[in-house]
Chains A and B, each alone.
Chain A
């Protein structure tokens, strides 16, 4: 069984994550597009922390017999990996766009200089 204290800490930690993410979006420091995965992370962790039966069942499925909260760590790690992977794709797109911007600026500068 999951210790009650571990569940409580899990619930509090996921709630804190959810509140921080929402507050960042509200203050326009995080765009909705990039907040969704974080909100999903917080939501899933919240459900698994609060719904102890589900956590124990999932622990049974994946063969974690001694300490079910280990599944919480595994799920959290999985989501963090997903967020990181998502960010890698975002950075790739941004760097491509940055190159295009620099190229367009160079062409524009040349055209402006020709006019002088």
Chain B
């Protein structure tokens, strides 16, 4: 039996201050995990820093947005025939030490998609600002309603996938503000979902990409995407990861 190949996909935009630490932390968890940093046309030294810390760097020729960047990673995972993929943010808000916990349901053959949820076990220590908390709740309720499954956190960027999930997201992944719609697409395609409680850390450097001005576009775009996605038909994929 060949060993299971795992890739960590880390989208990053102008994160030279922390990307080295993020890469180190993932590699410290397990030397088995290959780290791929997708640099979404940073204007700083993100790519060089990531490379010097041992990551493979995919540099996009211009900024394509978080969804397009993450999908680049999934396409790489598909082309390089990885069995598992973990996606975590390049700003250090996800704790790499939780990767094994996230991969566990996939290893057991119980899930194709594992979401690192901030609210899987009720109230977590993570307390986002009020408006954001409401948004997270509303989207989770909506996706639960449209998919018929109880989803606690649809805006998390900390997820693990098996081969079936990699294939789906390599083919189909929204381009801007992708997480909510991607969750619905995965569930409607018949992927088995597991949710694992994770903690989110505060950002250490850089600035969050979500500004107040963009919030309105975010909400309207996601609502439209959810509405339209629920009108589409998706071929059912079989969980064949065992």
Contact = CB atoms under 8 A, between A and B. Distances in A.
A31 B175 contact: yes
B224 A100 contact: no
A101 B176 contact: no
A101 B221 contact: no
A91 B231 CA distance: 30
How large, as a class, is the contact surface on chain B? 10 to 19
A86 interface: no
Q: Which of A33, A39, A96 has the most CB atoms of chain B within a 10 A radius of its CB? A: A33
Which secondary structure dominates where chain A touches chain B? Answer: helix
A35 interface: yes
A100 B41 CA distance: 11
Interface in A28-67: 31-33, 35-36, 39
A107 to B, nearest CB: 10
Contacts of B220: 36
Contacts, number: 28
A39 B224 contact: yes
A101 B61 contact: yes
A103 B204 CA distance: 35
A88 interface: no
B228 A100 contact: no
A83 interface: no
B62 A26 contact: no
A22, A26, A39, A100 — most chain B CB neighbours (10 Å): A26
A39 B175 CA distance: 19
A31 B221 CA distance: 10
Contact of A26 (B61, B175, B176, B232): B232
Nearest to A103: B61
Contacts of A31: 175
A96 to B, nearest CB: 8
A33 B61 contact: no
B224 A32 contact: yes
8 contacts: A25-B224, A26-B231, A31-B175, A32-B224, A32-B228, A33-B175, A97-B62, A100-B62
Interface of B: 61-62, 175-176, 217, 220-221, 224-225, 228, 231-232
Which 8 A-B pairs give the minimum distances between C-beta atoms? A104-B61, A25-B228, A100-B61, A97-B62, A32-B224, A26-B231, A32-B225, A26-B228
